[in-house]
Amino acid sequence: MTFNGLGLHMGNLSYLSDAESRSISPENPSGDKGKGGMATEGTGAQAGRDLGQGWKISPSVIIEPGATFTLADIGEAGAIQQIWMTPTGNWRHSILRIYWDDQQQPSVECPVGDFFAMGWGKYAQLSSLAVCVNPGSAFNSYWEMPFRKRCLISMTNTADEPMVLYYQINYTLTEVPEECAYFHAQFRRRNPLAYKDVYTLAEGIRGEGHYVGTYIAWGSNNRGWWGEGEIKFYLDGDDPFPTICGTGTEDYFCGSYNFDVGKDEGGYREFTTPQAGLHQVIRPDGRYSSQQRFGMYRWHISDPVRFKSDLRVTMQALGWRSAGRYLPLQDDISSVAYWYQTLPTATFPALPERDALEVN
């Protein structure tokens, strides 16, 4: 029996396939067969000067300020299967973009930290099916990303300092079934969210597809609980009410009752699971770190949200005020929405300027 060579799981791991495994890194930037480890110059050349070619001569790249570096340019049908990287510098100042099949607009456009659910610029362990972040800045993506003609992946360094990047992109060359859609990821930020406004995770999505994940970096600007708001999925012309409506922020991220295990148990409790988590809680330190900040993810791997023509996703920001009334919040909210869809990709809203992306 043959297998098309896209995603494997435990149930088909033994199946043979005609797919061809390839990998791009600074040691084989083209990914070509038999072309790895050939460098004679690179960031490891000085350390390997006594050993010569084949001995870790080019393990990383340096991206200069203002430069865009092409991480991968693959001109055959296939699928990205895993991305590993460990970027230096401010993760909000490094912009990851992915383009499918010669489109001019990217289908993925995110600060690199947020793409890997690290929006606050600080490490937090994340152990999930789609994304893993391991000590101390090891970013791993396992989202399957098929393409039929071309895959172009780039990193732009908007910082004032050079960026050192170790990376590896593992992929397969294979036929892509007609029913496969293209991976998308879009970053947004509102700081602060205007009073009584609803935070938009994604809108303007056109085509057929399914929504597969949400990451939110939530900065609380008041002293109380911040997660009473509902998520809403507007599917295929829904207006003014959605088809899918959640019951609260922590409920959507598969927690309950404020993620709070009680004062005597430490209050907020971080957790990381295969499909959902509150993996990061940044607590005030009584000095300069004055605000509470949170990182949360929810992957819809087992329950993708299907749409036929269009999709909009929103999240309310609600706390509590006196007399048991809701308080519309004016918090600092950043997000990445992840989905698959047919092409073409609608043009994304422009990313905020560098200073508007930065967190302090």
Cα dihedral 325, 330, 332, 335, rounded to 10, equals: 70
292 pLDDT above the threshold of 70? yes
DSSP character string of 312-323: EEEE--EEEEGG
Q: pLDDT class for 3, splitting at 50, 70, 90? A: low
Say if 282 falls within a structural domain. Answer: yes
Say if 334 falls within a structural domain. Answer: yes
**Residues 232, 236, 240, 244: is their CA dihedral positive or negative?**
negative
**Residues 87, 91, 95, 97: is their CA dihedral positive or negative?**
positive
What would the mean pLDDT of 223-243 be, rounded to a whole number?
Answer: 97
What would the mean pLDDT of 251-269 be, rounded to a whole number?
Answer: 94
Q: For residue 259, what is the DSSP state?
A: G
Write out the residue range of the structural domain in which residue 67 sits.
Answer: 60-357
Q: For 6-20, 36-50, 146-160, which range has the lowest pLDDT when averaged over its residues? A: 6-20
Q: How many angstroms separate the Cα of 33 from the Cα of each of 74, 243, 253?
A: 13, 48, 42
What would the mean pLDDT of 229-235 be, rounded to a whole number?
Answer: 98
* Cα gap 96→158, rounded to integer Å: 11
Q: How many angstroms separate the Cα of 248 from the Cα of each of 64, 102, 211, 229, 253?
A: 43, 40, 19, 5, 9
For position 133, what pLDDT does the model report?
98
12 pLDDT above the threshold of 80? yes
Query: In 3D, which of 129, 122, 24, 162 has the Cα closest to residue 80?
Result: 24
What tokens were used for 23?
Answer: 């990998």
Mean pLDDT of the chain: 96
98 pLDDT above the threshold of 70? yes
Q: For residue 112, what is the DSSP state?
A: H
* Cα gap 280→153, rounded to integer Å: 28
Residue 334, Ramachandran bin (φ over 0: left; ψ between -120 and 50: alpha; else beta): beta
The gap from C-alpha 63 to its chain's centroid, in whole angstroms, comes to 21
What would the mean pLDDT of 314-322 be, rounded to a whole number?
Answer: 97
Is the Cβ–Cβ distance between 352 and 189 less than 8 Å? yes
Say if 278 falls within a structural domain. Answer: yes
Q: What's the number of domains the chain is made of?
A: 1
Say if 151 falls within a structural domain. Answer: yes
1 pLDDT above the threshold of 50? no
Is the Cβ–Cβ distance between 327 and 318 less than 8 Å? yes
Q: How many angstroms separate the Cα of 260 from the Cα of each of 154, 190, 253, 257, 263?
A: 40, 26, 14, 6, 8
Q: pLDDT class for 348, splitting at 50, 70, 90? A: very high
What would the mean pLDDT of 194-202 be, rounded to a whole number?
Answer: 98
Q: What is the pTM of this model?
A: 0.97
Say if 43 falls within a structural domain. Answer: no
Is the Cβ–Cβ distance between 59 and 208 less than 8 Å? no
In the chain, the amino acid numbered 208 is E
* Those residues with Cβ within 8 angstroms of residue 110's Cβ, 6 or more apart along the chain or in another chain: 95, 96, 185, 186, 187, 336
For position 7, what pLDDT does the model report?
80
In the chain, the amino acid numbered 209 is G
Say if 326 falls within a structural domain. Answer: yes
5 pLDDT above the threshold of 80? no
For position 161, what pLDDT does the model report?
97
Q: pLDDT class for 266, splitting at 50, 70, 90? A: confident
Q: pLDDT class for 2, splitting at 50, 70, 90? A: low
Which residues partner with 104 through β-bridges? none
Q: For 6-10, 39-43, 96-100, which range has the lowest pLDDT when averaged over its residues? A: 6-10
For position 11, what pLDDT does the model report?
82
Say if 262 falls within a structural domain. Answer: yes
Q: Residue 242: which CATH number?
A: 2.60.120.1390
207 pLDDT above the threshold of 60? yes
Say if 145 falls within a structural domain. Answer: yes
What tokens were used for 224?
Answer: 């109380």
* Cα gap 272→30, rounded to integer Å: 35
What would the mean pLDDT of 191-217 be, rounded to a whole number?
Answer: 98
* Cα gap 243→65, rounded to integer Å: 45
